[in-house]
Structure 1
């Protein structure tokens, strides 16, 4: 199934579960983790049997941000990871979903710390669930740093600007319930159950037509910066071909016959 020493990969039905697995460091981002993440996104893109992705963290935490010392190469296991970064200097941005968007829906299951680079990766996911003990925030300005993982661009497009600027400029922590209230996450569940809720949502997605799901996700993102007129035209261009697929006919037939549809990505 792939993965690295800091990134575990698991298949749960039609869902690929990627687990940040460096709990002794609060799952701080390391090069092995980033390589594993990038490979996981690509594996999901290329495998038609995978219909959704869940991103979570081991040890009751999501991600405490970037491990700058590890990325510099100190204590890194395996020369091959440095070779991968040299071969693709953009790999870490793709891994963090800054320069790559998987075509399958990505559901974040957050427990514990999801701060700095963790909150930045979160903004690249599509659906977000958090345990009620989770903590969010962009702490970079408190350290004299810049949240260069995309937050100054993405955050104000995802939550109201006043909340985005407060989060960016104060560097303060946010509880799970506050993150839900401002729209950063969609669900708060009892602590320790975020993964279960994410898999529940993934299973609903997995039961839908995969061509339709991927076209809908693509349309939402590609029209986000368009005018309404241009966006509606792009939606028709993206959506009409879905109606001509065998899967669309199967969905209608299954509904009429009162049975579960059998989709074949055709």
Structure 2
């Protein structure tokens, strides 16, 4: 199991929990964090025993975006991480879920600040839970910067365009309740309980057929920009093979026998 000094990795049953671990900087992104994130996504993809992923932050914050102080100076330390980035110049975009989509469901558990790059990573997750005091927003324009982590493309596809443009062009903060109201997040829970709720959601996913879960996620994303006709055809191509699996037969048999199913990814 991987991890770095700024990204911890642990298992909760069939769930891989990735924790942004730089609380003194509100988990601002560092090279160590980005490399750890990327390795976490790859570990989850490669290990069939992992059925879901939870992404969270340590110390009462999710992620305050890129470390601007480090960018302005020489704070992005760690030659081994620089070497990884040199070997794969796209690594940081994959880490931020801009150029990589894990095949397992990713659930975000947000407490505190989830702004700038934090909100951009959030857009690459599938299900989102936040504590009631969490703060969201894309602050880049306030610093004369561009939210290049994918927000000008993704945000308008995830929430109504008028809300997307207001968030992008004003750089103002949004409360958890407001973020839920515009559809950016799905659950608002008492502070300190976002991780527990995210693990609860993950646990429910973990009881489902893993081949079915992964096929459903893939179908949702691959058909998002298709016409209805093309999307329905793609859904059939993706979905029919699931019915021929041993897991599908096991699900039906377990239902008839009134017992929990024992899925084997077969």
TM bucket by the smaller chain? over 0.9
**Is 2:154 the counterpart of 1:154?**
yes
Give distance in 1, aligned partners of 2:73 and 2:222. 36
Please give the secondary structure, in 2, of the residue aligned with 1:48.
coil
Unaligned stretches of 5+ residues in structure 1 = none
Give distance in 1, aligned partners of 2:79 and 2:154. 34
Give distance in 2, aligned partners of 1:142 and 1:68. 13
Q: 1:36 to 1:230 in 2, by over 3 A?
A: same
Look up the match of 1:264.
264
Query: Residues 25-174 of structure 1 correspond to what in structure 2 (within 5 A)?
Result: 25-70=25-70, 74-174=74-174
Unaligned stretches of 5+ residues in structure 2 = none
**Is 2:15 the counterpart of 1:18?**
no
Look up the match of 2:217.
217
Q: 1:72 to 1:102 in 2, by over 3 A?
A: farther
Give distance in 2, aligned partners of 1:20 and 1:143. 24
CA RMSD of aligned residues (A): 1.0
Q: State the 1:77 CA deviation.
A: 4.6
Q: State the 1:69 CA deviation.
A: 4.6
**Is 2:226 the counterpart of 1:226?**
yes
Contact 2:31–2:77 (CA<8 Å) still a contact in 1? Answer: no
Give distance in 1, aligned partners of 2:69 and 2:89. 17
Q: State the 1:78 CA deviation.
A: 3.1
> How does the TM-score come out when normalised to structure 2?
0.98
Q: State the 1:217 CA deviation.
A: 0.1
Q: State the 1:67 CA deviation.
A: 1.3
Contact 1:109–1:128 (CA<8 Å) still a contact in 2? Answer: yes
Give distance in 2, aligned partners of 1:246 and 1:159. 38
Q: State the 1:71 CA deviation.
A: 5.5
Please give the secondary structure, in 2, of the residue aligned with 1:231.
helix
Q: 1:73 to 1:259 in 2, by over 3 A?
A: farther
Query: Residues 172-211 of structure 1 correspond to what in structure 2 (within 5 A)?
Result: 172-211=172-211
Please give the secondary structure, in 1, of the residue aligned with 2:203.
helix
Deviations along 1:116-150, one digit per CA (max 9) or x if unpaired, are: 00000000000000000100000011111110000
Please give the secondary structure, in 2, of the residue aligned with 1:65.
coil
Look up the match of 2:7.
7
Q: 1:73 to 1:211 in 2, by over 3 A?
A: farther
After TM superposition, the structure 1 stretch with the greater mean CA deviation from structure 2, 139-148 or 92-101, is 139-148
Look up the match of 1:252.
252
Contact 1:132–1:190 (CA<8 Å) still a contact in 2? Answer: yes
Contact 1:30–1:71 (CA<8 Å) still a contact in 2? Answer: no
Please give the secondary structure, in 1, of the residue aligned with 2:28.
coil
